[in-house]
Structure 1
C-alpha cells in the first residue's frame, strides 16, 4: 500500500487532485477479480434517490456514516440525515436528505474497510486528525434513450469536507461521465473519464471544486449505467 498512498499524498499536496489506476487500487485493497465482483454486486441493492428525481435524474443510492480513528478502528455511527454545509452544494442548501442506510452486508465488506483505512492514510497529508467522519455513498446513475443521467445534478460544487473520492465500480453501455476537478477560479486541474472498474479519483475538497458530465447510452436500445462509490473524509468534531 505504501507507494500508491505516497503517490496520492504527493499529488494532492501539489495539485489538489490525484488519479490512481486500478492496479494500484487493487494493491491497496487486496482485491482480485472474484472479490471485486462480489463487492460490485451490492450495487444491485440500491434504492431510488427521490431528491435527484425532482431534477429529472434517475439515480439510486444508499448512505452510511462511519468514524475512522487514527489507529484504524472503524465504527458505524447511528443512521442520520445527510446534510451538506452551507456554501458547498448549491442544489441542496439547508436540505436534510434522507436515504436508505447501507445494508449490513455492505457495511461488513472487507473491501470497504480496506478502502476507508487507505483513504485515512492519504488524508493525513491534508489535515492531522485524531479521527475522521467518513460518509459513504454508493451511487448508480441510469440513462435511457432520450434522457441523460446526471451524476452531479448540482453541477460544479464542493462537498464541505476535506477529502472527496470517487471509485468506479462498473460502467455499462455509457458514454460521457467525464469527471473534472477545478481550482476555485474555474481553472481545470484534471479531467478524466473513469472507464475501468477500480479507478479512483481523489481531490482536496477544501481547495477545489468538482463535477461530472452527463452519461448517455452508447446503444440506444439499452439503458446506460454508471456505478461509483463516493467516500468523503472530514476531521471529526
Structure 2
C-alpha cells in the first residue's frame, strides 16, 4: 500500500511525529490562537492509514439535506452529534440527540434558532478514525482551557456547487461559534476551486488564510479570540458539481 503521496505510513513515524505535532498545535493556539496541522501529522497522531481513511471518508456518502442552508440557496448535506470527552482518561460518550442551538452574539443567521439535524449514524460514531480525531482535539484544546470533560459537537458537512452557484460553506459569513476550540478537518474535495478558510481577529484583521487541499489537513482556532469564515466553492469543470467534505468539531468545557 505504501508509499502513497497523500497517505504516508503512519506507523513509520507515529511515535516521533505525534508528540511534537500536538505540542506545536498547543503552542500556536495558546499564542496566535490559530494553527494548521498538516495531513501527515494528523495521520500520524490518529494512526489512520489509507484504508482507514477511505472507510472514514465513506460516511460522507450518508449525510442528509440541510434544509436551513437550502432556504438561502446553499446545497449542503450534514449530520450532527454531541459527545462528552474526559481528557484525563480519554473516555468518549455519545450524548442523547438534541436540537442544535448556537449562543447569542455568535452566528448572525442562526443564533438562538433550534435547528433539527439527523443524528450521526452508528457506523460513524463507532469509526476508530473519528474517535482518534476527537482524542487529538481534546489534547490540543487543553492549551486553551482546563476541563474535567469537554462538550464535543460534531458536524460532518458536504457542500456542493454547480456553475450556477450554491456552494457556500459558511452562508452566515464571518462568525464565531461560541465555543473554546473550533476545528475543520478536510475529508475530501473534488472538482472544486475556492473554499478558502480565513481566521480574523475580533477587530477584523486577517490572522490566517488557507485553502485546505490535502485530505486530513486540520485547521484549529481559539473561537473565543477569533472569527472565521470560508469562501464559496465553484466547479473547476462546469460540467460536473464541485464537492467539499469537512468535519467541523467544537469543544467547550463541560
Q: Smaller-chain TM-score range?
A: over 0.9
Q: Which runs of 4+ in 1 moved over 2 A?
A: none
Shift of 1:3: 1.0
- Measured in 2, the distance between the counterparts of 1:215 and 1:159 equals 21
- Residue in structure 2 matching 1:61, options 53, 75, 78: 78
Aligned length: 236
- Measured in 2, the distance between the counterparts of 1:181 and 1:98 equals 27
Match of 2:180 in 1: 162
Shift of 1:13: 1.1
- Measured in 2, the distance between the counterparts of 1:22 and 1:93 equals 32
Shift of 1:100: 0.3
Shift of 1:120: 0.6
Shift of 1:147: 1.0
Secondary structure, counterpart of 2:73 in structure 1: coil
Secondary structure, counterpart of 1:146 in structure 2: coil
* 1:117 pairs with 2:135: yes
* 1:21 pairs with 2:38: yes
Match of 2:107 in 1: 89
Shift of 1:148: 3.7
- Measured in 1, the distance between the counterparts of 2:27 and 2:86 equals 23
Match of 1:226 in 2: 244
Shift of 1:94: 1.3
Shift of 1:209: 0.3
- Residue in structure 2 matching 1:199, options 217, 222, 242: 217
Residues 12-37 of structure 1: per-residue CA shift (max 9 Å, x gap): 11111000111000000101111111
Secondary structure, counterpart of 1:90 in structure 2: coil
- Measured in 2, the distance between the counterparts of 1:152 and 1:144 equals 16
- Measured in 2, the distance between the counterparts of 1:164 and 1:55 equals 24
- Measured in 1, the distance between the counterparts of 2:111 and 2:84 equals 24
RMSD over aligned Cα, in angstroms?
Answer: 0.6
With the length of structure 1 as denominator, give the TM-score of the two structures: 0.99
